[in-house]
Structure 1
Amino acid sequence: MTAATGEKFHATSRAVDGGAAASVGLLERAAELMEQNGVQQVLLGGVDSLVNDSDLGRLGQAGRLKGADNAQGLVPGEAAAFVRLTPEPEEPARFHAAIQSVGLAQEKDNVLSDRYSQGRALLSALRDAVNGSGLPEGDINFVVSNSNGERYSGWEQLIARPRFYRTRRQVLPIAYPAMTIGDIGTAGGALALMLAADSLLKDYAPGPTAVCEVASETGLRAAVVMGRVTRR
């Protein structure tokens, strides 16, 4: 990264490929750095753009763009999004947002294959994240998803969610940032974390526990349990 940007980075800094879920998958590595290596803060995020001739061409050829003849397509976007992670928030606030667990799984039937996903990887990631948090599934109050509106994405969620969210709810609130800014690729992982944390800290969340569902185009699925915690 130093050679590419001309900036000096910490020796443990890493640049990875693999989409939004890959960046979220580094949360556990970030926790290790802070707990074992004395790192006081980590910036985690991504930069991406689908607004370029190459991506627009391949998405259009695959019939994946939203348009007059395709209501269930994606709207390409571009963004940079980063979140600051720290083991001890300095802000004198009554609450802080804590990442409690992460789940990862690889979906073999990704959007680039010739098959629709059956939601197996998303379901596995959700189960691992919730099991790791020690919370029952019924404690989840809302979801933040980087789903982009594609038919493929909707099909996957339609199959996976009823198999995971088994507790009876009148409604399960779900936030889709792509509805307002489009599909921002790799940056969507950090944005999902940011939106969940902001809603918890600014008290517009429907409850104290959130799950971020993050998918990458190449098949990686990530789930993150985040909660509002009272400062000690």
Structure 2
Amino acid sequence: MNEAIQPTPHAHHAPQQWEKVAIFAFGVVFIAIMLAIAIWMPEPAPFPRLVFGLVCSLCAGAIATLIPGQFGLSLPLGVRAVGGIAVFGFVFMAFQNLAGGPIPDHKGRFPKGIDTGWIFAGYIDAASGKYKGDHYAAPVNSSVSDPVFEKGDKINVLANRELIIKDYKSASAQPFASPTTIPGGVLRQVDRTSISIEKGTNWVVMDVVRAGFVGNDQMATWLRIGEIP
């Protein structure tokens, strides 16, 4: 009597020691980087947030290959996955569910008696239109390196800025007058409010003024801001 021929089992590749070390190091390094980015950028714009989710999922999937056991994932349309790929899919979907909602507005508020004022947003090169050095505000949910501000934009303040109002400490304060109209173009003590517009707060742009000086290749950008309703 002939014996039934048994199918040859598929060979299972056991990770070698150097592969285990490399995968573990990959996961640890990238998770550390993601933690640092999360502290530095707690509320990223939608596209960076998508990239962070992909990287976190890849790290989780890579590390999962070192953990004994089996993990399966079933998706609509009959799609199934096991092992590291399943962990990747699970973490990515969980990440999107937890962090995929709209980024909340942290609406700034003026002290009582203040309705508007100006903040300095940075210097722009007159020839290229690009910022020279840091800029201190950006449109909400935008990651462009050289933002262009327009009336009505909602902005996020990137660093603490002092609110400036021309002649604030006098009897004739002029909150609608740009700081560029100050005689000599230099801020005076009478124009300083000592009111801090905090980093991370959101405001609406009421007016934009860019101005430079003769013989200078850079222009100062000033934003008149108001509270978001």
Q: What TM-score range do you get, normalising by the shorter chain?
A: under 0.3
Larger Rg: 2
Relative contact order: is structure 1 or structure 2 higher (C-alpha 8 Å, sep ≥ 6)?
1
Q: TM-score, length-normalised on structure 1?
A: 0.22
